[in-house]
Amino acid sequence: LQQATTELLMDVVGPYVLPYDDSDEGSNEPPVGPDYAAEAAPIYFNWRKISIYGGSNEIQRNIVAKAILGF
């Protein structure tokens, strides 16, 4: 559910979702788009990686179980 929600946020914000923010490098330009757009991409990518390594843990458990049980 959380991954679907963040994916929807990415779709809604559209081109304003850029994972790169150069405001720390002394840029005097204001950020483009709404304030929440700057956080959308990092949150989305974080949830993607969580689901990927969550699946990897499950696969590893299955491999170990098969090795122990001899299937």
Higher per-residue pLDDT: 15 or 29: 15
The pLDDT of residue 25 is 67
Burial class, 37, CB count within 10 angstroms (exposed 0-12 / middle 13-18 / buried 19+): buried
Q: What's this model's pTM, rounded to 2 decimal places? A: 0.58
Residue range 22-70, pLDDT digits in tens: 666 666 777 777 878 878 888 888 888 887 877 888 888 899 999 999 8
User: For the CA atoms of the chain, what is the radius of gyration?
Assistant: 19
